[in-house]
Amino acid sequence: MNTSTTQLSVYWDADEDAEDIRRYTAGGFHPIRLGDVVFPPLSSSDSSPAKQYHVLHKLGRGAFATVWLAEVLHAPTQHYVALKICAAEADAWHELDIYNRISASDEMQNVLRLRDSFSLHGPNGVHTVLVHDVLANVFDVVNPIRGRKHARMLCRQIACGLAALHRHGIVHGDLHSGNIGIALPTLDGHPPRSILNYFGNPECIVVLPTAAPTHPAALPPYLLPSISIFDYLASKDPVFADTPFCAVIMDLGNAIAVDEETRPSSTPAAVCAPELMFERVVRSVRPSPTRASDIWSFACTIYELVFGGRLFRFANPDDALLGAMATLCGEVPLGWQSYWESHEWLRTLDISPEAADAGWARRLEDRMTGGGETHTRAELEEIFALLRSMLKIEPERRASAEEVLQHPWFARPDDASG
């Protein structure tokens, strides 16, 4: 999948929270204005009117989509949705197929549901629109200010979602904290005016090219930063404050079904399984993700949610990351041996089960003596035992999602720490 860009130059650059204006070109993003009404193409064969979605604000953006808060027009009751408007070049039909495979399952409470989908024709091409429930980011719930008392509950819910996907033959392929959302069950009870007044006048960055664009209609009139609906609900909705949080696995754009052709992995380096990373570093190829690589990614995500930092800091696809993985696990896989022996720096690393045990013991002591830790030693030992069962360098030795779900750490009473 190529990322289309142009050489467009504008007078005012947007901040990092807004998408790159150069993505608004043939094959790229669809230009959206606040107040637009988005709906499927009209067809004379349709016997019922299609749903219409009134765009209210921007929720986020990714490499291949922008996401918008919209209200459903002409619905019996007030209802909000998130519109994921994919780039024209995005392989959205694959994502649709994945959603169709799980749409009839009652086990997917912790996996984002697809509520609607259609094609949108625009100046930059034909865009797939995926309609989902509105979610908050998991870091709205677990962060330095709010604390991490919900982390264990959320991790268990993620485990439920991942186990359900794996039971249905779906590998997520891109599981990390950025793809974990929090459900917002009380949102529909709030009128649009209340939400929009809370955030105030949008901080629009006007798109003014330094030279007349070849295709002016391809550009939006302005770019917008994203808003956090969680902030609004936490401030204005006492019922939401008393509602238990529910974690939802989202973004199945890189997922694969185990019975389909392999697809190259795009897992971020910080959560990428070693068998995938080794191929990226040594052979410059991207193997297909697997259930076992999901487990490694999930372990890294648990560590980040529980402890607030990444297991592999400043991770890049290089020898340093391979060395850190082998050191953490206490062994070098047989298939890595020849590469290892040919690199002097890798040969100097202290890699053994004893060294790995000592490293985990140091982590535990650092947690106990670092100040501010809310976990008991017994619980830390449980968490580390869970993580080590998932962080095996050989994929076939990792715990399955079902085994992770049955771990004693998840059986602790709800009022326990963590």
CA distance 267 to 226: 24
Tell me, what's the pLDDT at 4?
Answer: 52
Chain CA centroid to CA 331, Å: 30
Could you tell me the two tokens for 265? 């992995």
Q: Which of 69, 66, 90 is nearest to 18 (CA)?
A: 66
CA distance 237 to 387: 36
C-alpha torsion angle, residues 131, 134, 140, 141 (rounded to 10): -110
Percent of the chain exceeding pLDDT 70 equals 94
Tell me, what's the pLDDT at 259?
Answer: 83
* pLDDT of 191 strictly over 70: yes
| Least-confidence region, from 4-18, 99-113, 308-322, 325-339 | 4-18
Burial of 109 (0-12, 13-18, 19+ CB in 10 A): middle
84 appears as a binding residue in the annotation: yes
Tell me, what's the pLDDT at 258?
Answer: 86
Q: Please, which residues have CB within 8 angstroms of residue 71's CB and are 6 or more apart in sequence?
A: 53, 54, 56, 78, 79, 80, 81, 192
- Encode pLDDT of 252-307 as tens digits: 989 999 887 778 888 999 999 999 999 999 999 999 999 999 999 999 999 999 99
- Encode pLDDT of 64-94 as tens digits: 899 999 999 999 999 999 999 999 999 888 8
- Encode pLDDT of 376-392 as tens digits: 999 999 999 999 999 99
Could you tell me the two tokens for 159? 């485990």
CA distance 164 to 181: 17
- Encode pLDDT of 203-254 as tens digits: 999 999 888 888 889 999 999 999 999 999 999 999 998 999 999 999 998 9
* pLDDT of 339 strictly over 50: yes
CA distance 334 to 298: 24
Instruction: Calculate the average pLDDT of the chain.
Output: 91
Q: Are 26 and 125 in contact (CB under 8 A)?
A: yes
Which listed CATH number (2.30.30.90, 1.20.1730.10, 1.10.510.10, 3.30.70.270) goes with 264-413? 1.10.510.10
Q: Which amino acid does the sequence have at 20?
A: D
The C-alpha angle 286, 288, 292, rounded to 5 degrees, equals 120
Angle between helices 377-390 and 291-307 (to 10 degrees): 160
- Encode pLDDT of 150-183 as tens digits: 999 999 999 999 999 999 999 999 999 999 999 9
Residues in the chain: 418
pTM: 0.92
Chain CA centroid to CA 304, Å: 13
Domain ranges of the chain: 264-413
